[in-house]
Structure 1
């Protein structure tokens, strides 16, 4: 089934016998303004979702909304981006959005070429990579004093007038520290955080080195959700100008991973994301 059929058919059947739901023509992806409000972990999540939807060939409209986080139905880590499918269905964060797309596309989803056991392995990897990268981004945004004072704090309350801006900034910091405590990252220093990222990247490099030929993706000859997630985090970290760029400096020591992300950037965004240019909007 091609994309045009997906948009015009109300309900179809996959080869596996599962019902497929049509992708709506008015799918909207909401996020706060990138230039003034979006924080690093939120940027990574938004970019990962956009990359995944582009890999799936599913059209969506970007919507910049000051109140995007308040539109969110919830989530574990960032609550963003918010994907609205029609007038009722709303989803937030990478993993729930991927699960919804897979449910709608059934036998034609991005990872349908893999066995069920392999898809389960990929879901575990996605969860692991999402946790490590997002927690590292939260830590570097809220715990690192220089990043917090000069980058995170000004953005956290930017959508609101004083004194609401101060209250919102305090609330976001409290929520970030709560998340770090849940995952037992609250007492880590920067070196420990960077070590965890290095271990995670080592796992990803191992995945890439297993693929033949070298231009393969993380789990085989075709892309999957893991590729989109990794690209979203790596591209966001490399292109977000924090006062303390230690996280980006660590990633820069892994040329194999950077080459993989540059190929995705070239195929989906015209090579403009990692070069700092503005990619064309997906129609």
Structure 2
């Protein structure tokens, strides 16, 4: 029994092979496979990720291929809506990433794409996290960046789709090795249990980064490596929930079991 919850598992389409975008029969075959899986497993739809893969392999740099990609997503949504499982049409949520600068490039998903897909897609999971990385340590999702991402996406008459956007909120954090000591950069994602362990072991002072709207702390290892940890807090999560509300958007959490228990008090 699942009550009123909908189960939409995450499907990933890789960039290779791309023949199915060019050939009608191949596109139909991929769609049929997705529909069959939903029926067999009693799913209510899917969360599809493909745009980031297609962008990484240069597929979306080609205007013709980009157009075929949009046509495939639109056709998939239309076919899914024609299939009824659990007394309702199958749902399609599509994963989209943020732009890589303050302007949209040809491989970015933008407002025209929202309008092109129209009602074929039921929601968009917006990946507004992973702003920083071990090569460029810093906050996970600076609030100003989240805001500017929404501004770019909902420009040019696409504001009417704001209710379909699920603003991404990370429940994980990052522990980065700063240069100096025995370290030379590095680090990566940490979960709630790792965060609590670091607090217990090093008893660091939590600091607030006003510019990004995130808490962080510093600590040193026995080898004298300097670390910086950015991890969500009640205040940072609440500020991002407020941002979503201000746009009339929903939220998507990556991932809900990675955070601290009291995060749920805000939901």
Structure holding more helix per residue: 1
TM-score normalised by L of structure 1: 0.27
TM-score normalised by L of structure 2: 0.28
Structure holding more strand per residue: 2
